[in-house]
Amino acid sequence: MLESNPFTFLKFKTLLDGITVSGRKISNQEQILNLVKNSKWLLAMVKVDQFSLSKSVLLG
């Protein structure tokens, strides 16, 4: 869950711009990058009408 992730919006945007944020745990950074990757994957499936709520989709 992102509720416990200490990244601020500015640090989140910096990370998405490809710049690492010093002083933050790698696990927090990976959590954000995975969220972005999976959001793009979900959006791509929806755009081509391939999304279905199934076990295989939920497990990625």
The string of pLDDT tens digits covering residues 1-60 is 578 899 999 999 999 999 999 999 999 999 999 999 989 998 999 999 988 888 887 786
Place of tokens 């711009």: 17
Report the distance separating Cα 19 and Cα 14, nearest Å: 6
Report the distance separating Cα 4 and Cα 49, nearest Å: 33
Could you count the other beta carbons within 10 Å of the beta carbon of residue 28? 17
Predicted TM-score (pTM) of this structure: 0.75
> CB of 8 within 8 A of CB of 34?
no
DSSP alpha helix (H) spans, 1-60: 9-16, 26-47, 55-59
